[in-house]
Amino acid sequence: MEVCDRCADIDGCPVDTQRQEGVTLIGVAECNGTLALEHYRCDECQAVIARRFMGDTEERIWSVIEGGQRPPLPHCSA
């Protein structure tokens, strides 16, 4: 699956990177009332992008999900 340059750029960026333009929020997941994950769809290339707020530092990143599959929910330890 081809993704646009903006998706390629955001992939792997820290979760505190802001990207609101050109993407549509399509869903959120919470874990015990804490925001765990956001899903966006790119308006340009239709890629699904996950923004993950939980886990280790290297896991709290934006990740482009090829093929439009939903990512697994982060492990909820509580």
Helices vs strands, H then E, count in the chain? 1, 4
Nearer to Zn ion, 8 or 73 (CB): 8
Stretch that binds Zn ion, among 3-11, 12-20, 53-61, 69-77 (CB under 5 A): 3-11
- Restricted to residues 33-62, the positions that interact with Zn ion (CB under 5 A) are 42, 44-45, 47
Strand order in the sheet with 34-42: 23-31, 34-42, 48-52, 62-65
Q: Least distance (Å) from Zn ion to the CB of residue 41?
A: 9
With contacts defined by CB under 5 A, how many residues of the chain interact with Zn ion? Answer: 6
Q: What is the binding site for Zn ion (CB under 5 A)?
A: 4, 7, 42, 44-45, 47
